[in-house]
């Protein structure tokens, strides 16, 4: 058996040391690097990225029509104005990220083709040691860092979720998961079956419908759709009267967040009225005043319990009305040579079957972590506001929002981490941990998410591997941007939940804990 290549990579030199190591060059990692440079200019840092390029999600997904389902005024960073239409293609998002990298000289800090395979914390040295396998030569490069900023996302980029369907091997056509779609595939004139009805299906179905012979969307259950034009009237008007782009960005973000706040509240207080409004939009955009919502477009869950699929210009409904798209609401009995047979006995024949069945959750990129030699089981930890975890020092994780734009939280976590690093410098601390406070004794320790409030499949399937939460705001990631935007700036880094160099922050508290 060949030996691991660790020493050849390090080849007679010490590991590369940085103050902060960022894992991942997706939208979280690039945003975090920007904030670190701006707010902690004295800190050295590196970004390790498994892929050969930046972008994460927006590089991985290459299916036809790939685009955001959030508006880019809020999915874009707060510091870089978005100047295009609100809903952007994957290519436009990559271009925007590329500009952020270039304008801020972030590229020099990124080590592409470096897959992190181990992270070990040593309290004796107050250091993380990070091992990364280099794609170029298979060697293991070693880094050390005072602080680890995990921006590795939440799902496995290589292995999407494919249910264990009976007979899949019998199918003679082309089967692919949307996450692994090869953009050179010719689908013109083909019969395409898309399995799923979430955001990915909502994107890919109208795009396929433009060139395919016919598209069928097979869904287990219906989804809510929000149809809108792909433009923001306020942004257009502000530009027309000569307002500068940074101001347009700031004002339009405020408008969108305000409107989303109203919408979220209304989804909870008057879900039936909201559904009627969504239906009205569908009728208007599809051009069919008698559009039939039963049985394929009347969901069984409450509006907003899962992501509301955005539908620019009502494209999916237009395809349905024009006869280019059929929808089947049923479960799969089995795959056949020619397609899929449903539980009710219908056989759907297809030349290409595309699974839009979602992700496999990957907690901390599946990387083995240890603290002072003991392996970390994330399920044994409790999260501090979805950013830090008990028992794991000098580490922050960027887990964004699912209902609001993910990136809103990238900016907020960026402020928090930079404040924390600055505070540690001020008090001369080299180690910070979060720990339950005396008043948290007896607090209920619960699964990461409140399943009756928000329950996408990949989170439910992977919940056992996720950190736990408590029932107080400090100990949960509640997916509520509107609460967190007010709470985060008030975080007191001298609070009892922060333990620096093994000491509770105030002497009174230290003695209170010691006396427990």
Give contact residues for ligand FAD (rule: CB under 6 A).
23-29, 48-51, 56-57, 61, 68-70, 75, 115-116, 151-153, 157, 200, 365, 367, 398, 400, 405-406
| Cα–Cα dist 49/431, whole Å | 25
Instruction: Name beta bridge partners: 215.
Output: 192, 325
Smallest distance from ligand FAD to CB 356, Å: 10
Neighbours of 166 (CB within 10 A): 11
| Cα–Cα dist 405/326, whole Å | 31
Smallest distance from ligand FAD to CB 170, Å: 29
Smallest distance from ligand FAD to CB 126, Å: 23
Q: Which is nearer to ligand FAD, 51 or 120 (CB)?
A: 51
Q: Which is nearer to ligand FAD, 156 or 333 (CB)?
A: 156
Q: Which is nearer to ligand FAD, 406 or 498 (CB)?
A: 406
Smallest distance from ligand FAD to CB 436, Å: 27
Q: Which is nearer to ligand FAD, 50 or 354 (CB)?
A: 50
Q: Which is nearer to ligand FAD, 61 or 431 (CB)?
A: 61
404: which 2 tokens?
């609001």
| Cα–Cα dist 471/383, whole Å | 11
Q: Which is nearer to ligand FAD, 23 or 395 (CB)?
A: 23
CB-based contacts of 287-296 (< 8 A; 24+ apart in sequence): 287/318, 287/321, 288/317, 288/321, 291/317, 291/321, 295/222, 295/329, 296/219, 296/222, 296/327, 296/328, 296/329
In the 3-class helix/strand/coil scheme, how is 8-67 assigned residue by residue? HHHCCCCCEEEEEEEECCCHHHHHHHHHHHHHCCCCCEEEECCCCCCCCHHHHCCCCCCE
359: which 2 tokens?
């992700």
| Cα–Cα dist 22/91, whole Å | 24
Smallest distance from ligand FAD to CB 400, Å: 6
- Whether 147 and 394 have beta carbons less than 8 Å apart is answered as yes
The greatest distance separating any two alpha carbons of the chain, rounded to the nearest whole angstrom, comes to 75
Smallest distance from ligand FAD to CB 31, Å: 8
Smallest distance from ligand FAD to CB 200, Å: 6
Smallest distance from ligand FAD to CB 256, Å: 12
- Closest by alpha carbon to 388, among 399, 401, 377? 399
Q: Which is nearer to ligand FAD, 193 or 201 (CB)?
A: 201
Q: Which is nearer to ligand FAD, 26 or 339 (CB)?
A: 26
Helices (H), 305-358: 315-321
């Amino acid at each position: 058996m060949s030996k691991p290549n660790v020493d050849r990579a390090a080849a007679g030199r010490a590991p590369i040391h940085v103050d902060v190591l960022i894992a991942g060059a997706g939208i979280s990692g690039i945003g975090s690097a920007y904030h670190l440079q701006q707010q902690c200019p004295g800190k050295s840092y590196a970004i390790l990225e498994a892929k050969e390029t930046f972008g994460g999600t927006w590089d991985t997904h290459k299916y036809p029509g790939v685009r955001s389902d959030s508006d880019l005024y809020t999915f874009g960073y707060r510091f870089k104005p978005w100047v295009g239409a609100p809903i952007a293609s994957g290519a436009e998002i990559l271009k925007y990220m590329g500009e952020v990298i270039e304008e801020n000289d972030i590229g020099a800090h990124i080590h592409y083709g470096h897959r992190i395979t181990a992270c070990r914390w040593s309290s004796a040295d107050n250091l993380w040691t990070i091992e990364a396998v280099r794609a170029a030569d298979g060697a293991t490069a070693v880094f050390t860092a005072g602080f680890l900023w995990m921006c590795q996302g939440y799902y496995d980029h290589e292995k999407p979720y494919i249910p264990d369907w009976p007979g899949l091997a019998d199918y003679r056509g082309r089967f692919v998961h949307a996450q692994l779609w090869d953009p050179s595939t010719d689908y013109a004139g083909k019969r395409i079956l898309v399995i799923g009805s979430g955001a990915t299906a909502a994107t890919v179905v109208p795009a396929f419908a433009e060139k395919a012979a016919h598209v069928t969307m097979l869904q287990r259950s219906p989804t809510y759709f929000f149809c809108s034009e792909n433009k923001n009237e306020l942004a257009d008007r502000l530009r027309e009267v000569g307002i500068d782009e940074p101001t347009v960005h700031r004002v339009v973000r405020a408008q969108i967040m305000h409107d989303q706040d109203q919408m979220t509240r209304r989804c909870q207080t008057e879900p039936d009225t909201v559904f009627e409004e969504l239906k009205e939009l569908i009728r208007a955009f599809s051009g069919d005043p008698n559009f039939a919502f039963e049985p394929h477009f009347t969901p069984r869950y409450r509006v907003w319990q899962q992501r509301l699929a955005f539908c620019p210009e009502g494209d999916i409904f237009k395809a349905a009305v024009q006869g280019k798209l059929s929808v089947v609401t049923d479960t799969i009995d089995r795959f056949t040579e020619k397609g899929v047979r449903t539980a009710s006995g219908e056989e759907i024949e297809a030349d290409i079957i595309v699974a839009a069945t979602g992700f496999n959750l990957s907690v901390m990129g599946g990387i083995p972590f240890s603290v002072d030699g003991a392996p970390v089981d994330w399920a044994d930890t409790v999260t501090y506001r979805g950013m830090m975890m008990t028992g794991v020092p000098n580490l922050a994780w960027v887990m964004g929002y699912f209902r609001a734009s993910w990136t809103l939280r990238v900016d907020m976590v960026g402020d928090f981490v930079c404040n924390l690093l600055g505070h540690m410098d001020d008090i001369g601390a080299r180690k910070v941990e979060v720990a339950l406070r005396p008043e948290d004794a007896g607090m209920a320790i619960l699964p990461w998410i409140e399943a009756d409030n928000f329950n996408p499949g990949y989170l439910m399937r992977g919940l056992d591997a996720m950190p736990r939460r408590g029932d107080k705001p400090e100990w949960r990631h509640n997916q509520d941007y509107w609460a967190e935007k007010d709470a985060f700036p008030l975080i007191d880094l001298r609070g009892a939940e922060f333990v620096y160099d093994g000491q509770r922050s105030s002497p009174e508290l230290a003695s209170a804990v010691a006396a427990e």
